[in-house]
Amino acid sequence: MKKTIGLFLLLLMAATRLTAQQAEYLVISEVRYYETSGINEEFVELYNPTNAAIELSGHKIQYKSSTGVNWTDKTTFTANDVIQAKGFYLYGGSATVPVPDVSSAATLGLGNSGGHVRLLNSSLVELDRVAWGAADSPEGTVLGSHERGGSFERKAFETSTAASMEAGGADETEGNGWDSDDNSSDFVIHNSLATANPQNGSSPIEPDVPLVDGSGTVSVSPSSITAPGPANLAFTFTAGDTLLTTVQIELPAGWNYQSAMISGAGFSQANFIENPNDVVVNAAALQGADTGILTLVGVTVPTTSGNFTVHARTATADGTLAVIQVQPVVQVIGDPIDISELHNNNGDGLPVLLGQVVVVRGVVTLANELGIAAYMEDATGGIVVYDATFADGVSIGDDVTVIGTLTQFNGLAELTPGTVIETHATGVEVEPTAVTCLQISNQGASGEPYEGRLVQLYGVTVAGTGTWAGNTNYVISDGTGSTELRIDSDCTLVGLPIPGDPFDLIGNVSQYDFSAPHTSGFQVLPRFASDVIQSGGPGISGGPWESGHTQSGLSISWTTTLPGASIVTWGLTEAHEIDSLVYENSTTQHSVDIADLDPATAYHVRVGAVDVSGSSMTSDFLVSTVSPSSSPGTMEVFFTKDVESEYALPGNEANGNHDMIGEIVNLIDGAETSLDCALYSLNINAVLDAIVDAHDRGVAVRFIYDSDHDQGEVAQIANAGVTVIDNSFGSNGAQGIQHNKFLIVDAADEDPSNDRVWMGGMNFIDTPSNGIYAKDNAILIADQAIARTYTLEFNEMWGSDTMTPNAANSRFGEFKTNNTPHHFVVGGRQVEVWFSQGDFVSQQMRNLIATADHSLYFNILSFTLNDVNYAMRDRFEDAGVAVRGNFDDQGDQFSEWTDMLAWGADIHTDAGPGILHSKYLIVDAEHADSDPAVWTGSFNWSSAADNINDENVVVVHDELIANQYLQEFANVYHDAGGTADFVVGIEERPGRPVGLSITDVYPNPFNPRTTLDFQLERSDMLSVEICNLLGQRVSQIDLGLTPAGTHQLPLDLSAQASGMYLVRLSGERQGSAVRKVMLVK
């Protein structure tokens, strides 16, 4: 008996220990301080472990640094903020997922090395505190750190672990109520974006327990009223399983009503008490399907616009009135305010009215011409309305009254969403506001008077050559200063020549400045081609194009809007000092030949046209003649891993599993006069020794690397006497990364036979899974013109063409210019060379994609460029081009994986070993008559690569080179689970395979079985994959050879959890089709 009692007490004590530290007050339940680079996704999540909703009005979240003394308010909650019983509430940056209940356009600024956050109630009493890293004032013991994108999450129980709190874990839905006042004991650490789990006020309660007081639901009709009223508001209550006897409606401050009345079965025996600002219904009998309606008659409101929470409370017979979990919200449409008021900012550069609902009236100056960001203005200012429905529903010249929520995106004030209340007129003309570049760039210090407005600048020049590129910024200048010009990818200017002479410009003023106080980054967005106004002479409407290359001459073509005589000037510098010609031919289709040139030489050229009204000229651009015959003109392709040589054209087997180190060392050992190295990283001793040996034998060696990869090997090179710089040299600042991986050999001498360039995606490292152990590629090009062009790029970073770098002239990343030729003939092949930043590389990629007639195949490490994805989708949908690709990892932040899977691309994730580090695209590899081409280099398909990194790309238009890349692609594709075959050496059917389609999936949603209906025009080898939205395959069915006709396939997802899935039906010869399905258990 004594033992039994002792055991009972021991169990009782254990149970008490496990429950006594469950919080009975609001707690901080999850924190992220280390966000994904450049993404505003820090957050602080709150949890309410009590059985009643809590009004947060006056509560604060505060922050102090790791060793700081003073706390800083991060947010103060308002009367509109209510946290449900067992529910969550999220404060976070604007990019946080899910959407925060209280969002911050500015980054939260939580310290990566350490810091504290705390929660105060309305009496400023501290309820909870969390500290990490080097913080000196934690609760108990300080937390450690989490990886980028991860978080700290409060436990559900003392025994909870990181695994049990993650999705699918035993404690995932048990709340976050454990609080022993010791940070290190009370929290688990998630070290990835995938395992962190922020929740907001719309997330399910945890644990899902029945509530009593404060239970039920309430809705309001109408949900929107026009100030000042009067209006009748009907509040409809339901109770569910709980019997509710008392309800209350409390109006916001300043609201009034004339009288009240009740109706409905739940209020049939009830009575009510009218108080000045609220009404209480007693003796109700709300339960089950019964409803009760409380109508407030003659409600009047102030004329301030906004979304106002009306507090609704319920109680049982013996209970106390408590706030219902989801409160009714009434939108008030007040009087329009001046748009200029939306630009009244605080000290952090955030609008004072941020997050508030406002009403404005103005005239639309940009609708959907550039996408979903529309612009409107009144006499006081302009504003962006970021709403697809709005942009599609209005036209330029519409005079509209709009209601919307004021937000800010990287400094740009926006109404998101924005809804038209009334259209007053159409076809209203807005005269652009005349401004200067200085006024645009300096307006941040004077209240942003031009942001959102339609403006006009006069006599500007642009720092750019060639043709306008989409999604690209250019520097424009006038006599007062400089500012930014932004060309949207949807603007009809894309592809048109950049004026070489001063021009007038019309456009809307936007802003992109992600750092507080957001006083820079202003840019002018022309809406269409006519917003660039050129004066004098026939306007240039197309080109210039290099229509012919020889060793001693060039042919240049272009078009003009009106007939005129052709003009061409050229030289070795921008002065065009060699010669100029005027062809008295009066045409709109211009073509000129320039003769007596030197081989493998870059020339500056301008072309134009002249008539009686004047002349127009392009901006300066560079072209190159062909290398002399003594330059080999060879291109050798190397791959680090296996290839499928069965797809090789006769005698064209690809170099798979190549000895990359041996190839590089042999190249360096063969250097006679010069060696320029631009490398992202280096740790291979054999390569290091070869570079030092080259220097020691008298080769002129210059070395550029990335500032974040200063390995010891780089120090050894410098210690050996080689001059070394990185991308922080001079005033460059290393904003991006120096991501090149190229070598230039013997370009400094006059011997064309020994010039070589090594380029590609492979890092010069031998760490596991990377560098020579990754799936990658490189090309060795033996051509003097290519070597000289790469030398121009190297010299731009180096700052000089000598052995001594010049800090004043050095340009990296976003400071670089378009200063090289781009089109070449190498061994009879058409070749393009592009460098980031400055050459608008992603635009060149989209241009190449647009040429695809049959197929686009790719291997890619990182793919986050929407426009490249959309360009592929357009060829897939419009021209039936087969799109197949291999990703290293579909789970990358902002990866295009999910979208591409949804529209039907045949994509897969690499099966390993080693990372898939290539960045190449193959166009029409199986069709010799369709300009087969390969795009490859260091350029990841990302915004950073396009805008701030140092990158290089080569495009080779050649059937044999494309076939070699196809051999490597096929190996990666088939290893990753791809089933398509490839046909080489003969022509396949043109156009898109159209014989396979999913006609229906029914039922949908379903539980757990459904039926897939599909049609085949001809027999094919079929398979069905079922994937979750992360692209992870959860089931696969191999149907084998399936005859033509209509088919039905039962699908059973009994083993899967509820959620959205993608069903992909694939044929070897007829492409693939995808359908979304919803499993609801």
Distance CA 537, CA 617 (A): 9
Residues of the chain with CATH 2.60.40.10: 543-624
Pairing state between β 433-434 and 454-462: parallel
Tokens 């990335």 correspond to what residue?
706
Superfamily of domain 543-624: Immunoglobulins (2.60.40.10)
H or E segment and range at residue 18: helix 2-19
Tokens 């962190």 correspond to what residue?
196
Which tens digit of pLDDT belongs to each residue from 984-1037? 864 333 333 446 888 888 888 888 889 898 888 877 788 898 877 655 678 888
Distance CA 159, CA 140 (A): 18
Question: In residues, how long is the chain?
Answer: 1081
Residues of the chain with CATH 2.60.40.740: 217-333
Distance CA 117, CA 63 (A): 5
- Residue 575 corresponds to which amino acid? A
* Residue 536 binned pLDDT confidence (cut-offs 50, 70, 90): confident
Distance CA 962, CA 942 (A): 23
Cβ pair 82, 54 in contact under 8 A: yes
Residues of the chain with CATH 2.60.40.1260: 22-190
708-725: b (≥16 Cβ within 10 Å) or e = ebeeebbebbeebebbbb
Residue 797: Cβ-neighbour burial (10 angstroms; 0-12, 13-18, 19+): buried
Which tens digit of pLDDT belongs to each residue from 56-91? 999 999 999 999 889 999 999 988 888 988 999 999
pLDDT for the residue 211: 59
Task: Compute CA distances 777 → 389, 888, 1081, whole Å.
Answer: 45, 15, 47
Mean pLDDT of 547-553: 91
Residues of the chain with CATH 3.30.870.10: 657-809, 826-975
**295: helix, coil or strand?**
strand
Name the token pair of 548: 């012919």
Q: Does domain 217-333 have CATH number 2.60.40.740?
A: yes
Q: Does domain 22-190 have CATH number 2.60.40.1260?
A: yes
- Least confident range of 19-23, 188-192, 315-319, 975-979: 19-23
- Least confident range of 188-197, 369-378, 790-799, 1052-1061: 1052-1061
pLDDT for the residue 19: 39
Task: Compute CA distances 310 → 224, 248, 320, 359, 562, whole Å.
Answer: 12, 10, 19, 21, 66
Cβ pair 400, 420 in contact under 8 A: yes
pLDDT for the residue 928: 87
Dihedrals φ, ψ of 901, to 5°?
-60, -40
* Residue 681 binned pLDDT confidence (cut-offs 50, 70, 90): very high
CA-nearest of 114, 150, 153, 112 to 131 is: 114
Which tens digit of pLDDT belongs to each residue from 431-475? 999 999 989 998 876 779 999 999 999 889 998 878 898 888 999
Which tens digit of pLDDT belongs to each residue from 354-405? 988 999 999 999 999 999 999 999 999 999 999 999 999 999 999 999 999 9
Class of domain 826-975: alpha beta
Q: What is the second-level CATH architecture of the domain 996-1079?
A: Sandwich (2.60)
Cβ pair 852, 932 in contact under 8 A: no
CA-nearest of 961, 959, 957, 979 to 970 is: 979
pLDDT at 339 over 60: yes
Beta-carbon contacts of 168 under 8 Å, excluding residues fewer than 6 positions away, are none
Q: Does domain 657-809 have CATH number 3.40.50.10310?
A: no
Mean pLDDT of 686-700: 97
Is the whole-model pTM more than 0.75? no
Cβ pair 657, 717 in contact under 8 A: no
Name the token pair of 453: 């407005």
